[in-house]
Amino acid sequence: MNALGFSAKEEATLTALTLDVVKSSEIEGELLNYDQVRSSIARRLGINTAGLVPSSRHIEGVVEMMLDATQRYTLPLTEKRLFGWHAALFPTGYSGPYAIETGKYRTGEMQVVSGAMGKEKIHYEAVKPKSVKAEMDKFLDWFNNDNQLDPVIKAAIAHFWFIIIHPFDDGNGRIGRAITDMLLARAESSGERFYSMSSQILVERKRYYEVLQKVQHSTGDITEWLEWFLHCLKNAMLATEHTTQRILRKAEFWKLHENTAINERQRTVLNKLFDGFDGKLQTSKWAKITKVSTDTALRDIKDLIEKGILHETNEGGRNANYELADFTLE
């Protein structure tokens, strides 16, 4: 990562943090708008990215929590800070249609269930409400004062322990993953995030729940959970190598074309192609993305073909598809 230029490194951090926020919510079945999350993070980190889009109060809250955990990772984790995170996650006091207790520990019983209505499966019954504060005090004391452990192992234990207590009405998974990211940032002594643990947990979600469920009913031996966590972390880093290659490629491309005349519409679509464009690029898609007529879109595309930046694929047919031409730095 240190071999990257400043802007490419910034881009890598922005991508990893965006994925972390989006995927952590997706694990809970909530789909956040990628561009809004990215935009919110860029604004808060002072990264200039063209086309910042306004984001909802809810997204701002989720981003606020994640950045507080990863950028201010040296600060102690306190009850007040956790309550702030929880309130930021649920700014309206509702989780979907349900009113929940926000910014404080739960006062009701908590079961972790899955499955359709009437066919629910209880995975786990959490700590009784009257014991939550005492258990959390114990957890926070360990979190802030026990420095004997390797911080990566500590991240794994903290995640598990927090989920077992399940101190809030909702949002425990997301806060648990933010706590993990905070300890991983401590392990690296850096707020720069280049990989996303939550993205990898989403890929391995089935196993994540299986191991959590199995180990929490064990006699206190959490070796299986630790092994799963470390493998997941390793896989997250391997997945990042792929993302980083893409970012490097993008940086090389713009270096090569720093003096090429490219208009704002072309720049927008080219960046989308480097960031992982879904499906085929056609004139109609170009027109939709840049909000212009198909004639203007075609002119933009033809101009890039003449400059050797795009080429038409061999599929032929009524709708031509275009993709990036290969390039090498001189």
How far apart are the C-alpha atoms of 36 and 13, rounded to whole Å? Answer: 16
pLDDT tens, position by position, 106-130: 999 988 776 777 777 777 788 999 9
In whole angstroms, what is the distance from residue 89 CA to residue 171 CA? 7
Residue 52: how many CB atoms within 10 A of its CB? Answer: 15
pTM, full prediction: 0.79
| Low-confidence residues of the chain: pLDDT under 70 | 3, 49-51, 114, 316-318, 329-330
pLDDT at 219: 84
Residue 306 in tokens: 């003449």
pLDDT attached to residue 121: 75
pLDDT given for residue 193 in this prediction: 87
pLDDT of residue 217: 81
Per-residue pLDDT at 50? 59
Cα–Cα distance measured from residue 207 to residue 199, given in angstroms and rounded to the nearest whole number: 14
Top-tier CATH class for 6-244: mainly alpha
pLDDT at 220: 86
d(C-alpha 272, C-alpha 55), whole Å: 19
pLDDT, tens only, 170-180? 999 999 999 99
Q: Residue 122's beta-bridge partner residues?
A: 113
Which residue ranges make up each domain of the chain?
A: 6-244, 260-324
Q: How far apart are CA 278 and CA 120, in angstroms?
A: 35
**What amino acid is encoded at 215 in this protein?**
V
Which tokens sit at 169? 């009405």
Question: How many CB atoms sit inside 10 A of residue 3's CB?
Answer: 7
Whether 260-324 and 6-244 are alike in CATH topology: the answer is no
3-state secondary structure of 121: strand
Which two structure tokens, joined as six digits, stand for 243?
A: 């993302």
Determine the pLDDT at residue 318.
65
What is the third-level CATH fold of 260-324? Arc Repressor Mutant, subunit A (1.10.10)
At residue 328, the pLDDT reads: 81
pLDDT score at 85: 98
